[in-house]
Amino acid sequence: MSKQLFTQGLCFSCTRCSTCCRYESGFVFLTKKDANLLATTVQVDYTDFVDIYCRWVPMGQGREQLSLREKPNYDCIFWENGCSVYEGRPLQCRTFPFWEALLVVPGAWQVAAASCPGMGTGVLHTRDEIEAAIIRQRTEPVIVRFGGV
């Protein structure tokens, strides 16, 4: 992985503007830890949590990944004048913007920063912190099923 973009660290502080949580369709893929924590947070069992709050996203070759649902207006299912599960939000949300794709794809960081007021400002995150976020994403895989229902 190229570390040139974040060798000196990167500044980011979430402003809770909700731009990444609303307005556009997207996916918030869940790890097993995410799903269990969110089920506990909303006080339902795991199976009900998946049925009520999640959707299976086709990824090709019979493979599907578990993602949070969106409201009809594309807001995250948990957006209610802000994140209603902020303390238990998924790894994908907690590690934003330190996603490998944003850090290694040329220009991706700059494109994301154009719509995120927290990128480039606030707390300086060290190279070690950023690498730890990437490693965590790699070692906590999203939930996958094959064959669907």
pLDDT digit string, tens, across residues 75-105: 999 999 999 999 899 999 999 999 999 998 9
Task: Note whether 23 and 134 are within 8 A (CB).
Answer: no
pTM: 0.88
| Residue 141 DSSP code | P
Residue closest to 96 by CA, chosen among 80, 118, 63: 118
pLDDT of residue 4: 67
Bond from prior residue into 97 cis (ω within 30 degrees of 0): yes
Q: Look at the alpha carbons of 66, 70, 76, 79 in this order and tell me if their dihedral is positive or negative.
A: negative
Query: At residue 139, does pLDDT exceed 90?
Result: yes
Q: Is 146 helix (H, G, I), strand (E, B) or coil?
A: strand
